[in-house]
Amino acid sequence: MRLITISLTLLMTATFAGAVKADGAADDVIGPRLRFIKSNGIRLRIAEMGKGPLVLLLHGWPESWYSWRHQMPALAKAGFRVVAPDLRGYGESDAPKAVEAYDISKLTGDAVGILDALGEETAVVVGHDWGALVAWHCVLLHPKRFRAMIAMSVPYGGRSQESLVTTLKREFGDNFFYILYFQEPGVAEAEFDKDPRAILSRLYLSPNSPRDKPEVTNPKRSAGGWIPRLGAPKKLPDWLTAKDLDYYVQQFTEAGFRGGINYYRNMHRNWKITPQLAGVQIQQPVLFIAGKQDVVIRGATKQQLTTQMSRVIKDLRGVKLIPDTGHWVQQERPKETNKAMVEFLKALD
């Protein structure tokens, strides 16, 4: 059964990922090569393209290596070796059972293990969403292995005085918030595993995407889970084809959602096990990219984000906010994202 799944994955990869140009438009080019490596004691599936200095692309939740389908050809063409793994718990990569197997030390250890498996001493690490959280900690916990980074969507302002989970519990109480929902053992994955297409199609949208009215509007957690609180899309956004969505759905149908949700279940643990990061400045060059309408940055301006991050980043080389763009920035605006990435990478010493 596993061999059939892998064959189907490779077929879908050739169909979808193999037909993107450097600027994100369709074209008949050879897509990324998918293979398996051992990293940090587990097996990871990686997609790779190109030759040159290594750029490691880390996806977020609920995503896949495939979220970088537009970036990989552009960076390979620009002269870089590009590797995008399915992070642990995703796609064809191993998914350990223990919740603690997804803490930040394991996740950054996986990134270091990828470099070791590839025979690379250093890399530029790029992360979006949860991948950005991992990338921030890669440069903090393993500064000799990561010479620069690009963060997308999730900024960094230094170690907080309390964990985010503690803050959210105080703020939301009995009301629903997805991160608190994810703390409940086994609950969120049970909801999403029953209908991967329902949750993915509701999340992979732009800020202005038309939706049906949500079925649940009661703010109390007891009123229901997350899918009925998100209005179903009236149509897919222009940047996401039906085949793109089918690929994501197939990946989560096979792997399930538990692994990715376990990242959230380690948020408090991550804070507890990293007290040494209090007051630590990031020394490596950093570029930050986000959609201007990304809910994660909560309407923050370029100046506000620059001020926030400059306190803890010694060499912040830019904050790029792309107008009329939401959370899925590298998929929504591949041309603008690729241009910013290539300019940053080529300017590195």
Residue 6 has pLDDT above 60, yes or no: no
Write out the DSSP string of 289-300: EEETT-GGGTT-
pLDDT above 60 (res 143): yes
Which pLDDT score, from 0 to 100, does residue 331 have? 98
Q: How high does pLDDT run on average in the chain? A: 93
51-74 average pLDDT score:
98
Catalytic residue among 94, 103, 129, 244: 129
| Burial status of residue 236 (CB atoms within 10 A of its CB: 0-12, 13-18, 19 or more) | middle
Does the pLDDT of residue 321 top 90, yes or no?
yes
Q: 9 phi and psi, to 5 degrees?
A: -60, -45
Retrieve residue 215's tokens.
Answer: 């079925």
pLDDT for 31 equals 85
Residue 4 reports pLDDT greater than 60: no
* Closest CA relative to residue 40, chosen from 111, 96, 145, 98: 111
pLDDT of 12: 39
Beta carbons of 141 and 107 less than 8 angstroms apart: no
Nearest to 55 by CA among 38, 74, 37, 41: 74
Residue 199: exposure state from Cβ atoms within 10 A (0-12, 13-18, ≥19): buried
At 18 the pLDDT is 40
With bands split at pLDDT 50, 70 and 90, how would you rate the model's confidence at 349?
confident
Among 63, 104, 70, 102, smallest CA distance to 85 is for 63
CA atoms within 13 A on the CB side of 197: 9
Query: Known catalytic residue: 129?
Result: yes
DSSP 8-state symbol, 53: S
d(CA 284, CA 141): 12
Residues 68 and 16 sit within 8 Å (Cβ to Cβ): no
* Among the ranges given (15-24, 135-144, 192-201, 318-327), the one the predictor scored with the smallest mean pLDDT: 15-24
Confidence of residue 2 (pLDDT cuts 50, 70, 90): very low
Percent residues over pLDDT 70 in the chain: 91
pLDDT digits (tens, 9 = 90+) for 279-320: 999 999 999 999 999 999 999 999 999 999 999 999 999 999
pLDDT in tens, 9-43: 433 343 344 443 333 333 334 689 999 999 999 99
Express as a percent the part of the chain with pLDDT over 90. Answer: 91
0.75 exceeded by pTM: yes
The predicted-structure confidence for 146-190, as pLDDT tens digits, reads as follows 999 999 999 999 999 999 999 999 999 999 999 999 999 999 999
Residue 327 annotated as catalytic? yes
Q: What is the mean pLDDT of residues 48-59?
A: 98
Task: List the helix and strand counts (H, then E) for the chain.
Answer: 14, 8
Domain boundaries, the chain: 2-346
CATH number of 2-346: 3.40.50.1820
Sequential DSSP letters for 110-146: HHHHHHHHHT-S-EEEEEETHHHHHHHHHHHH-TTTE
